[in-house]
Amino acid sequence: MRWKRLTGDVLMMMIQIAVFVVVFLAVAGIGLLMHFSQKAEEKRRKARIIQGRQALHGSGTPRKNAMDPKDKRRAELAKKLKDGGEEDSASRKKKATLGEQISHAGLNVSVAKFWLFSVITALGFILAAKVFGMNLFVCLMAGITGLLGAPKVFLKMKTAGRQKKFIESFGDALEAMVRLLKAGMPVSEAISMVSREFDGPVGEEMARIYDKQKIGTPLEEAVREIAEERMPLPEMRMFATGISIQAQTGASLSEVLLNIAGVIRARFKLKRKVKSLSSEAKSSAMIIGALPILVSSGIYFINPEYILTLVYDSFGKIMLIGAGVWMCVGIIVMKLMINIKV
């Protein structure tokens, strides 16, 4: 009985420490996110100021000759790209609603059903905590985690996997559209053909674009809606911007799509290269983060009384909490050092 009581106390202590660690990670993550978002906004503001000064400096020296038609066309394209980029940055600043997050994940469920599944998950977490004999505080934290934490994590994982599959085949889809356009096929039929030939997220989104166009939505608006509501990726925004420029200026769509496909392939290649170069550091970070837990678990199974001193002694509890906090700080720092965004 004493051994079972000690095991239950240790398990309850470990769960309490885990809950504390999760709460600390959430607070630290929110703080770091706000800090880096402020830095990014400051960089964008400085870039806008610099661009405004350059434009003012250039406008102060009038040109003697009239603008060449090619230069005029390039200026129009640059202006449209700049306007599209400003609109995209403004749309990215807006936080996605729950319905948009569900659309990003590719789930065909309503917001009400999602909350119903979240409530069921919370009840399951509470029941599991009750089965293990946890106290009221642990059961409450388990319910909050099941209601607000686990479903959101599932949505993020589902969205990340779907976007990864989309990027892997989006370049091939654009090149297939280029070949179809050069063969004389209309744009709508090329999109329909790509939706039938490609599986996964690419085929689904191209089919949605084709369906929207069939009911009377202009092509550029249909693509932009998909880029904003279903697949908010830079590559999809580039595709929407290229379609919009072609519709407004009459540029060669096959050439625009071919250039976009080249840019997408280059970005994907760079991401894979960064991932391969940082894989060793990620493995080292995982080993370093898991080593204290593995060592303490091994000591517990070999000599329980030796490690249980940290659980029953007041100063030992403070040491355990401090060790957990510093472990979390170290994991966050290692993640920030390794996570290289392209």
Q: Is 63 inside any structural domain?
A: no
Residue 125 predicted with pLDDT over 50: yes
Q: Does 111 map to a domain?
A: no
Residues 231 and 282 in one domain: no
Residues 287-312: pLDDT tens digits? 888 888 888 888 888 888 888 888 88
Does residue 142 fall inside a structural domain? no
Same domain for 252 and 298? Answer: no
The pLDDT value recorded for residue 101 is 86
- In terms of average pLDDT, the best of 115-119, 185-189, 327-331 is 115-119
Rounded to 5°, the CA angle 146-147-153 comes to: 70
Number of structural domains found in the chain: 2
- Does residue 53 carry a pLDDT above 60? no
Average pLDDT over residues 165-179: 87
Q: Is residue 6 part of a domain?
A: yes
| Whether pLDDT at 149 is above 70 | yes
86 pLDDT above the threshold of 60: no
Per residue in 243-295, pLDDT tens? 887 777 766 778 888 888 888 888 888 888 888 888 888 888 888 888 888 88
Residue 213 CB partners (closer than 8 Å, separation 6+): 188, 191, 219, 222
Q: What is the pLDDT of residue 55?
A: 45
Last residue of some domain: 234, 269, 304? 269
Q: Which domain holds residue 316?
A: 1-32+278-342
Whether residues 265 and 193 fall in one domain: yes
- Which of 114, 97, 73 minimizes the C-alpha distance to 246? 73
Q: What is the percent of the chain with per-residue pLDDT over 70, rounded to a whole number?
A: 71
Q: Looking at the domain assignment, is residue 325 inside a domain?
A: yes
Q: Cβ neighbours of residue 142 under 8 Å, at least 6 residues apart?
A: 122, 125, 126, 128, 129, 134
- Percent of the chain at pLDDT > 90 equals 4
Global model pTM greater than 0.85: no
* Token pair 């769509």: residue: 253
- Same domain, yes or no, for 256 and 174? yes
- Tell me how far apart the alpha carbons of residues 130 and 124 are, in angstroms, rounded to a whole number: 10
Considering the domain architecture, whether residues 262 and 284 belong to the same structural domain is answered as no
User: Can you give the CATH number for the domain in which 209 is found?
Assistant: 1.20.81
Give the mean model confidence (pLDDT) for residues 94-113: 83
Asked whether residue 215 is domain-assigned, the answer is: yes
- Token pair 């949605």 is found at 208
Task: Classify burial at 169, counting beta carbons within 10 Å of its beta carbon; exposed 0-12, middle 13-18, buried 19 or more.
Answer: middle
The answer to whether residue 217 sits within a structural domain is yes
C-alpha 167/C-alpha 111 separation (Å) is 27
- Give domain status of residue 87, yes or no: no
